[in-house]
Amino acid sequence: AVVSTQSTGANLLYKGEKLNKTKIGEYLGENREPNLTVLRRFVERFEFAKMDIVTALRAFLGKFRLPGEAQKIDRMMEEFAVVYCEANSTVYSKSDTCYVLAFSIIMLNTS
């Protein structure tokens, strides 16, 4: 029942209808359960296969606003990297490589 609730929560956040994107980002960035599982389920909703990393990041980041804390951004980028690499295993053999690239792209585009 808990997994079902977390998947439902992830679906709700993914659809984001009438939800505050800043609040979605804050929730997904928290380092506790059920937030961590909801983050994973949320990222799994995306179809990253055959997408270049910039397009995938745009799709991902279009659903919420990044929180201001680096640790929260870090957690979110780690999950993004794992799911992206699973969908594009021929492009990136390790999620660490994808994570560093994704995090770097975000930092380069942040003031």
Q: How far apart are CA 81 and CA 29, in angstroms?
A: 15
Does residue 43 come out as left (phi exceeding 0), alpha (psi in the -120 to 50 range) or beta? alpha
List active site positions: 69
Neighbours of 31 (CB within 10 A): 12
